[in-house]
Amino acid sequence: MLTTLKEVLAFAEEKKAAIPAFNIDNMEIVQSIIKASEEENYPVILAVGQAAIKDGKLALLAATAQVLAKKSPIPVVLHLDHGQSLEQVRMALDCGFTSVMIDGSKLPFHENVEISKRALEMARAAGATVEAELGCILGVEDDISHDDSKPFLVRTEDVEAFNRAVTVDALAVGIGNAHGIYKGLPNLDFDRLSEVNDISSVPLVLHGGSGIPGDMIQKAISLGIRKINVATEIRLAYVRGLTKEVESGDFYTMSNSGKAEVVALAKEKIHLFKNGNV
Ligand SMILES: [Zn+2]
């Protein structure tokens, strides 16, 4: 069934677990992620990111996700990842997204508050939920990058002021996490995460979940992370599956191999994010 971020994050809070947000880049990945979530009997967030949008697939992926989500017994959120503008938020809501992220993290604080407020008004009118972002997430994903020389950790006082000004449904925080695959071990600031979690009533989101070791994921969940984004690892799994069977030269042999790899990876992540509590 299609649902919103608010509902699946309330479930995560109750269970002290996290819900995966897997980026979907084609129809086969949507099929595979829904299959994995059904087999694990666990809610899932299907995220459409900027690369997929640039490739002209916003409405196509939304339609695919809706067809499969409506048939599925598990709660499925259709979510815009890193929404770049209110126009993009509008387009996503018009395509039936149940949730949108507005990424104002590169804007000055007050402009981030303003654009998040506007996105919230638009989303609420459509019965949808909103994720905003504070602090920088390092690395590059789909051409969204941050200058590494800038202070990137989310500031506790900003979280407090932001939540006072606008009550979104989820807040992505920069705690040293990065998009893409990490070079070496990620350097996550758990002290900062803990401080932010203590003062935030809004569920927290960890972007850049690809390649974060299991024990660090579990620690982040124990410190209040309720949504974890995984994009790069899903794409890599799909390509690995195709490559494994490339010698066959057969469309469905390769395609099914790609799907099997995505199902296996998604199940592994869901299992980890349940954190032994579900
Ligand atoms: Zn992200």
Any idea which residues carry the catalytic annotation?
Answer: 81
pLDDT of 27 over the 70 cut? yes
Residue 158 has a pLDDT of 94
- What mean pLDDT comes out for the span 161-178? 95
Residue 151 has a pLDDT of 57
- What mean pLDDT comes out for the span 45-55? 98
Domains of the chain: 2-232 (3.20.20.70)
pLDDT of 145 over the 60 cut? no
Cα(179) to centroid(ligand 1), Å: 6
Residue 238 token pair = 């799909």
Q: State the pLDDT confidence band at 138, using cuts at 50, 70 and 90.
A: confident
Phi first, then psi: give them for residue 140, nearest 5 degrees: -125, 130
Read off the pLDDT of residues 58-116 as tens digits, 9 standing for 90 and up: 999 999 999 999 999 999 999 999 999 999 999 999 999 999 999 999 999 999 999 99
Cα(159) to centroid(ligand 1), Å: 18
Q: What is the mean pLDDT of the chain?
A: 94
Percent of the chain with pLDDT over 70: 95
Strand bridging mode 144-145 / 140-141: antiparallel
Q: State the pLDDT confidence band at 148, using cuts at 50, 70 and 90.
A: very low
- What mean pLDDT comes out for the span 162-179? 95
Cα(250) to centroid(ligand 1), Å: 34
Residue 147 has a pLDDT of 46
Q: State the pLDDT confidence band at 181, using cuts at 50, 70 and 90.
A: confident
Residue 225 has a pLDDT of 98
Residue 44 pairs with which residues in a beta bridge? 76
pLDDT of 150 over the 90 cut? no
44, 9 in Cβ contact below 8 A? no
Q: State the pLDDT confidence band at 144, using cuts at 50, 70 and 90.
A: low
Cα(248) to centroid(ligand 1), Å: 35
Sorted by sequence, the CB contacts under 8 Å of residue 96 that are 6+ apart come out as 62, 66, 78
Residue 204 pairs with which residues in a beta bridge? 171, 225
Cα(246) to centroid(ligand 1), Å: 31
pLDDT of 152 over the 90 cut? no
Q: Which of 173, 156, 3 is nearest to 73 (CA)?
A: 3
